[in-house]
Amino acid sequence: MSAEVIYGKQLAETIRQEMKEEVAQLSEQGIHPKLVVIIVGEDPASQSYVKGKQRASEKIGMNSDLLELSADTSEEKLLEIIKELNEDKSVHGILVQLPLPEQIDDQKVIEAIDPSKDVDGFHPSNVGRLMTGQETFYPCTPYGILVMLQRADISLEGKHVVIVGRSNLVGKPVGQLLLNENATVTHCHSRTKNLREHTKQADILIVAAGKAGLITGEDISDGTVVIDVGVNRVDGKLTGDVDFESASEKASHITPVPKGVGPMTITMLLHNTIKAAKWIHQK
Ligand SMILES: Nc1nc(=O)c2c([nH]1)NC[C@@H]1CN(c3ccc(C(=O)N[C@@H](CCC(=O)O)C(=O)O)cc3)C=[N+]21
């Protein structure tokens, strides 16, 4: 068996085209969605993602500002900037690129962002809304995964989704989002015993552990849908958590890295920013 490759990149382009039209329509109504991305420090990987976000917003005609702060920026200063952006009516979405330097408490920063501008969906109030099934900003990577599955016509109802990784950014929220879609969800993590016994039970396997090559063909059963969320640099090259070659011999569908989940993450960020702009103007 040879897996069908799901290219998030292609799908992302289709959706961005749709959003471009929506941004143009909103513009006629005087609504100009605007995203502000804040990056602290000069980590090259972070800078490269942030540039990707900038390029993507420009391409769909969306306003986007980048605030580049030095690595020694104090927590107080960052909180002050966020407060100003919260109050700025022209700003609809605020994203603070994670991880932050060690003098800054990530959680404090996330909680400082106005939940109605929290386009990452990381604020505890939005996390709570996701958990209770209320309308909210879905975190971009989990949401991108959901949309990829939907557009590939892979149903979730009653399916066994096994997730490897339990981060607040991906593992935990993707489980919640797919549970809301009536999947049966198993969460595995670094302390899970006999990981392979779990991964082999999956109809849909989502790997977000941050460990290159963690999952190989031996860890999956025939016909599994494999979603690789890994973002690892190995010898300067971007690779996922799944050994693509051996896994694609067993999987029914598989996402590559790059060109898989990553471009969908950015797409859903743009989607959330448009949603934020529409919400504010409805009030
Ligand atoms: N507050 C916050 N929100 C985030 O959403 C967030 C974050 N912090 N910190 C870092 C992670 C990582 N992340 C990626 C987004 C897109 C690609 C992406 O588009 N990758 C391309 C290739 C990019 C390349 O080659 O460098 C691809 O997979 O094809 C990757 C990684 C968002 N994150």
How many Å lie between the centroid of ligand 1 and the Cα of residue 43? 13
225 labeled part of a ligand binding site: no
243 noted as active-site residue = no
Give the burial class of 92: count Cβ atoms within 10 A of its Cβ; 0-12 exposed, 13-18 middle, 19 or more buried. Answer: buried
SS3 labels along 19-87: HHHHHHHHHHCCCCCEEEEEEECCCHHHHHHHHHHHHHHHHCCCEEEEEEECCCCCHHHHHHHHHHHHH
Task: Say whether 97 is catalytic.
Answer: yes
pLDDT in tens, 42-97: 988 888 889 999 999 999 999 999 999 999 999 999 999 999 999 999 999 999 99
Q: Which of 50, 255, 265, 270 to mutate to test the pocket of ligand 1 (most atoms within 8 A of CB)?
A: 265
What residue's CA is closest to ligand 1, atom 27? 258
Q: What domains are defined for the chain?
A: 30-114 (3.40.50.10860), 140-262 (3.40.50.720)
Q: Please determine, for residue 103, whether its predicted confidence score (pLDDT) is greater than 90.
A: yes
- Which of 34, 117, 118, 120 is the catalytic position? 120
Q: What is the ipTM of this complex?
A: 0.94
List pLDDT tens digits, range 126-153.
999 999 999 999 999 999 999 999 999 9
Burial class of 248 by CB neighbour count within 10 A (0 to 12, 13 to 18, 19+): buried
Predicted TM-score (pTM) of this structure: 0.97
Residue 108 annotated as catalytic: no
